[in-house]
Every structure is written in C-alpha cells, then in structure tokens.
Structure 1
Amino acid sequence: MMIIGLTGGIGSGKSTVATMFKELGVPVYDSDQRAKYLMNTSKVIHDQLVALLGEEAFKDGALNKSYIAGKVFNDTELLAKLNNIVHPVVRQDFIDWSNDQDANYVIQETALLFENKAQELYDDVILVTAPKEVRINRVLDRDNTTREQVEARMNNQLDDETKLELANYVIENTDLERTRSKVLQVHASILSDC
C-alpha cells in the first residue's frame, strides 16, 4: 500500500481535494482533526502539555485552545516544543490507522508537511495550490479572523514556489471542475504505480 501526503497552504482547498479523493474510495486521514481529538484524549499529550504550558493548558478537562494559542502564537520555540509533543502521537495514530485500511493507497492530509520536513515519510506528495488572494478570501469567508491574521499564518508556511519543487503532483484549486479532473488524473497515476 502506498502512503501519499496531501498538503497545501492555508485556504488552498486541501479539504475540498481530500473529499474528492474520498469520493473515489481512497481512505483519507485528516491530521488536523485527529490532532485536535488526540490533544483532548491522549494522556501522553495531556501530561506533556501540562509540563510545558502549565495546568491552564486544560480547562474543565478539555484543551484550553485560546490559552495555548496565546502562549505559542508569537513564540516559535514554544510552538516547536508543542509540535514535538503532538506530531509523534499523530504520526503513530496515522500508522495504526493505515494498517487498518484495505486500499491500494491512503492519503494523509497535513498542512505543514514540507515545513516539518516530513516528505520522506511518503511515497508521493500532492500539493494543492491557489492564488494568494483567493486563499485569503476563502479563509476570511470561512473563519472568524482578520486579513492580518490570515497573512501572519501564511507567513509561517513555506511559499508555494518552494513547495512546487518538492511535490510529486500539483493540483491548482480555483475551478472545481478542473480540480476534479486533475484529482482523477492524479488518482489514475498513483494507481498505476501501486
């Protein structure tokens, strides 16, 4: 079974593309959703987050997201420590999940694949792209946020030009029919390699 990474910058439409692969019967693991779940349920993560950020990291038994975001937002060293706690648990969860799948290939949807230098963990990587203004407007429509906050998040991610050199497949996600057509092409290409 092949392991495929699916990544792209904020607002690029990773989830839209992931849904299209799911519709083709490809198992897709959503790293962000699983990370949120595991941060609330994993004793390993709980204990390490409390050691790193204090008891306030959890409120009424649940992850205190606003407290954690406030602590790590402008502190890259603390954010790296947080990621070093969460990512290994998510990685093991993905491996366990993959072992339960019966498919020619599975996809792990993960936002910071290249930023975390994780591309060597995958047989191939699919990069989802869209123009910057399109991405900003999508996030503004989707999230309760400001343009400045979206641009700050974008600045914490590698630019598409850098990612293009590292990806095996690129799906430009601006027109849904063209995106769907490209997903079908990529799907056929991956199946031919299985």
Structure 2
Amino acid sequence: MIKIGITGGIGSGKTMVCSIFEQLGIPVFYADTVAKEIMITDPILREGIIAAFGVESYELSGKLNNKHIAQIVFNNKVELEKLNALVHPAVFSAFESWQQTIPAEVPYNLKEAALLFESGSYKMCDHSILVTAPKAVKIQRVMDRDGVTAEQVEARMDKQLSDEEKNKMADFLITNDESRSVILQVLELHHQFINLTK
C-alpha cells in the first residue's frame, strides 16, 4: 500500500483537502491529533514529558497542561527540539500501528502532519503533497477561525518552514487560492495514486 504524506502551512486548508480524500474512501492519519492523544495516553511518553518539563506538565485530571508546555517551548528552540524528540518517535510508532489496521484492498493512505518535513516523517512516506495558499489568504483564514491577530498568526507561521522550502521537497502540489477547484485537483491526484498501485 502506498503511503502519501500531506502537509501545508497554517491556514492552507490541508484538513479540508484531507476530508475530500476521505470522501473518496482514503484513510487519513491525523498526526497532530494523534500526538495530542498519546501525550495523555502513552505512559512512557508521559514519563518522558514529566522528566523533561516537570510535574506541572499535566493537570490533576490527567490532561496535558498546554499552557505550561507552551510557555517553555514557544520561544526556546532547544526546549522545542527536546519536546519533539519525545513526541515524534511515539507518533511514528502510532502511524506504523495504524497502517496495520487498513484493509489490504485500500490502494493508498494519507498521513497528515503540519511538520511533515520538519519532523522527517516524510521519509516514512512514498510521496508527499503540499497544500499551498497565498500568505494573506492564510493569515485571514486563521484570524477568522481562531479569533487572533495577524501578528499572532505570523508568529505561528515563523515556526514552520516556508511554502517555498516545502515545495522543494514535495512531490505534488495542491493550490488552495480559490482560482482552481480543489476538488478537481484532489481527484486528479487520486487517479494518479491509484495508477501507481497498478
């Protein structure tokens, strides 16, 4: 079965693109959602996070104390790398386990990850897709969605590789700028991927 990585900067619309693939019967592994889950449910990962960032990393209810973690890692590259070194291998392992649950007749699957290239997880995939949109469009989408300022969106964007850098590593491109139908672009790629499996 072919494994396709899919990524895009904040506000690019990669989740919407993934939902179109899902409508076509293609399973999608949402790496960022899984990461949030296993930071709570994986006892080894929990121990590692507590050892690295203190017992305040978790609330009494067992939930992750996002505010505490964010304060430590947000503007500290070394601490962020420490967190990623704990979380990324656990997510890679979860992806491998998830693959085993997919029926053999499914031609390909998608791994959606905001940090597909930054984390190196694109190396676990056979091909990769980048979803892009103009910067101004992405900023406006995130402002509308999250109720944040343009400056706050740009601060989050600065933590990721630029579309130009990602484009050098991606095999396929979906442009989500409202000038071309995203559905038609997805259908085109869907047929290409099915042909690759024949």
Scaled by the length of structure 1, the TM-score of the pair is: 0.96
* Distance in 2, Cα, partners of 1:117 & 1:27: 21
2:126 paired with 1:123: yes
* Distance in 2, Cα, partners of 1:165 & 1:51: 37
Paired position in structure 2 for 1:15: 15
Paired position in structure 2 for 1:141: 144
2:196 paired with 1:193: yes
**For 1:72-123, what per-residue CA distance to the aligned partner results, in whole angstroms no more than 9, with x for missing partners?**
1001100011011011111111110011102111100001111223322210
* Distance in 2, Cα, partners of 1:91 & 1:99: 13
Mark the runs of 5 or more structure 2 residues left unpaired by the alignment: none
Shift of 1:43: 0.4
Shift of 1:177: 6.6
* Distance in 1, Cα, partners of 2:64 & 2:119: 23
Mark the runs of 5 or more structure 1 residues left unpaired by the alignment: none
Shift of 1:32: 1.0
CA RMSD of the aligned region, Å? 1.2
- Deviating above 3 A after TM superposition, structure 1's stretches of 4 or more consecutive aligned residues are none
Determine what percentage of the aligned residue pairs are the same residue.
43
SS of residue matched to 2:189? helix
Preserved CA contact (<8 Å) 2:57 2:68? yes
Paired position in structure 2 for 1:34: 34
Scaled by the length of structure 2, the TM-score of the pair is: 0.94
Shift of 1:21: 0.3
SS of residue matched to 1:59? coil
Paired position in structure 1 for 2:87: 86
* Distance in 1, Cα, partners of 2:191 & 2:87: 33
- The 5 Å alignment of 1:38-57 reads 38-57=38-57
Q: Give 2:6's aligned amino acid.
A: L
